[in-house]
Amino acid sequence: MTDLKSKIPSETLDVLGKDCPYPIVLIKKEMEKLHSGATLKILCDSSATVEEAILRYCEKHGYQFEAVKFEDKGYWEFYIEKT
């Protein structure tokens, strides 16, 4: 599996402070714009969004994903690669 966090993302989406379903709606819209092979970086502080919605979305579409949690900052950086 590719180390997605080491790639330069095509776009960065900040959904800090936003609760579901808003983040996943924005993620879907942004992913639709990206070309195959592009990586989207997401900043998110909603555990429900990261642990449930984004994971299900990526698995449904066959996208590679990687999450990095920053405990001291209280948010995740989530990387999705469009296939």
Q: What is the CATH number of the domain that holds 74?
A: 3.30.110.40
Q: Name the band, by pLDDT with cuts 50, 70 and 90, for residue 3.
A: confident
* Chain segment 14-65, per-residue pLDDT in tens: 999 998 899 999 999 999 999 999 999 999 999 888 888 999 999 999 999 9
Q: At 63, is the secondary structure helix, strand, or coil? A: coil
Domain span including residue 73: 4-81
Domain count, the chain: 1
Residue 2, pLDDT score: 63
Q: At 38, is the secondary structure helix, strand, or coil? A: coil
C-alpha distances out from residue 22 to 18, 53, 74, 76, Å: 7, 11, 19, 16
C-alpha–C-alpha distance, residues 69 and 32, integer Å:
25
Closest CA to 28 of 55, 3, 57, 49: 57
Q: What DSSP designation does 54 have?
A: I
**Is the pTM value of this prediction over 0.85?**
yes
